[in-house]
Amino acid sequence: MINKFLDNISSPEQLRQLNEKDLPAVCDELRQFIIDHVAQIGGHFASNLGSVELTIALHYVFNTPEDEIVWDTGHQAYPHKILTERKDRFDTIRKYKGLSGFPSPEESPYDTYHVGHAGTSISVALGLAKARDLKNKKHHVTAVIGDGALTSGLAFEGLNNAHNAKKFIVILNDNEVSISKTMGAFAKHFSKIVVNPKFRSFKQKTGAVISKIPLVGNVLTRIIIRLQGGIKHILAPQNVFENLGFHYIGPVDGHNVIEMIEILKMCKTETEIPILLHVMTKKGHGFKPAESDPESYHGVTPFDKNVGLPNGKKSTPTYTETFSEIICNAANENNKIVVISAAMCSGTGMTKFAHENPNRFIDVGIAEQHAVTFAGGLAARGLTPVVTIYSTFLQRAYDEIEHDVCLPNLPVIFAIDRAGLVGGDGKTHHGVFDISYLRHLPNMKIFMPRDKAAMEKALDFAIENNSPCAIRYPRGPILQNGYDLPDFSSEKITSWETLKSGDDVTLIAIGQMVFRAFAAAEILEKNGINTTVIDACAIQPIDENTLFQIIEKNNKIVTLEDHVLSGGFGAAITEKLSDKNCEYHILRIGIDDKFVEHGSIDELYSELGWHPKQLAEKIKNWISNE
């Protein structure tokens, strides 16, 4: 497809050379470019379709990269990447050794900060603005944040601290949807501002009349927009942003690129107080299937752009789907179970639970700290709260886990999705730190089931147990092809399961690594090395009986985990053996001291040396050198 304008734009400087009247066509071409390419390669979709006009307006008005833009979360920054010298490499996005799916300063000077988690943009941008002032520079700093991300407590901490900021703009990209529907009182507050009929009528009628006045129409329209702060005190509900010291402007149509440019130009002239520009956009704009179902089109695999996403489920259920089934069954038998989500109802597979148990499902928005402490309150009064959350999102609530759950020893269940490597989302989303930050907390129990049977036993234990429990499980199919094993059969989930016995070396693995350990053991057998394989579903407490029996039989141990080695499962085994003054030799296989980049799971496992043949070779070499 030949694009009249986009084909000739590789940088914001070239964009700024165009006439404003040509920009709607650029928006159409850019949106179609995203549709065409994401349909082929997958990635974040609906949010990027919604941010096209806003992105073009920002780069047209501001002198980027000198003027700095901070994108919150960053999953809506595909238009930004395409316009900032990366269009020709866009097909590599989220692929191994290709473009990151999120902004990355290592990738481009236009990316001002590493992002990936919600709610960070205002604080980051405020830090950049303060650094600018201290260095006596004069450029503008803009934070772009969604209405879902604004439910994050961190976002309001940033707003609270920004009242004296100069040349500082916060753009609230309000599409009424984060990943799941935006929840809570702030979402209701935004909707009151948007739908107030008196204010909208005043704005529309006044703007329509004044804009028709020759020569002065646009100037007076800008003046009226600047006066809207005072008008809203009379016509609209009290505005929280103005009370925080911001000059509030909006709401404005985020899909009218010409209007967006005029308003951003006006925002540039206000340099003494921070501005909050409220922009209304539609997630999935320009692609009807995504407009009608933005949650399903948040992140997509390749699809037919003429038809939309394929229907039906894959034959092999995922760990997420399996936990959904198990928790729904458990809730049918136990009316004390309450599920809590932090704006990830669909992502954590809780849509069915929410539908079947609307009074026992609470989505608190992007507020992980609140989710954990809220769960503590429920547990303190005899309920059984289950916090369903991604591993890297749970780490945002570390203090609450320690202070509000573990210290009072409350039976909160943490269902930790995306534990281990996650693929294309990369280093901001790999769940490879949670064992380290959980296992040293008193009263915490941690399990990583390899299959449905073990997951059911882990949840049963957690429900009956009277202390905090974490059940961690990865993204993807619950059994990987070629590594099928019988269902977990140990009578108690706290007892490790011996899958295979041998005299030369013992492999102790958790979760999906159990399958790879078993496959590696079969290869080692062919090389004359007899191997014991243990499924250590119980990470904490460690099954000391089985561990010390292993040491008595053979003191060569290999631990396998899809987690960092520092403070991880292998470290826990090492500590236990050292504390008992055991004589042992140990090889710990996991992630060394580094952040893992993005790529397919297969590619990342190959890079880390986790494929069975690689594991077998590494173990064989280690044994020969002992």
Instruction: List the beta strands (DSSP E) in 550-623.
Output: 556-564, 585-591
- Those residues with Cβ within 8 angstroms of residue 224's Cβ, 6 or more apart along the chain or in another chain: 203, 206, 207, 210
From 396, 427, 445, 472, the catalytic residue: 396
- Those residues with Cβ within 8 angstroms of residue 136's Cβ, 6 or more apart along the chain or in another chain: none
Where residue 549 falls (left for φ over 0; alpha for ψ -120 to 50; beta otherwise) is alpha
Tokens of 139: 């450029």
Tokens of 395: 């780490």
From 53, 68, 107, 368, the catalytic residue: 368
Q: For residues 458 and 535, give the distance between their C-alpha atoms in angstroms, rounded to a whole number.
A: 14
Tokens of 339: 């599920």
Where residue 389 falls (left for φ over 0; alpha for ψ -120 to 50; beta otherwise) is beta
Instruction: List the beta strands (DSSP E) in 269-317.
Output: 275-280, 299-300
Q: Tell me if 171 sits within 8 A of 142, measured CB to CB.
A: yes
Query: Does the annotation count 232 as an active-site position?
Result: no
Report the half-sphere exposure of 593 (CA within 13 A, side-chain side).
1
Report the half-sphere exposure of 551 (CA within 13 A, side-chain side).
18
Residue at 366: amino acid letter? I
Angle value at C-alpha 33, between 28 and 36, nearest 5 degrees:
120
Tokens of 573: 């085994």
From 81, 232, 283, 427, the catalytic residue: 283
**Where does residue 10 rank: exposed (0-12), middle (13-18), buried (19+ CB within 10 A)?**
middle
Query: Does the annotation count 176 as an active-site position?
Result: no
Residue at 307: amino acid letter? V
Cis peptide before 442 (omega within 30 of 0): no
CB-CB neighbours of 286 under 10 Å = 18
Query: Does the annotation count 137 as an active-site position?
Result: no
The catalytic residues are 283, 368, 396
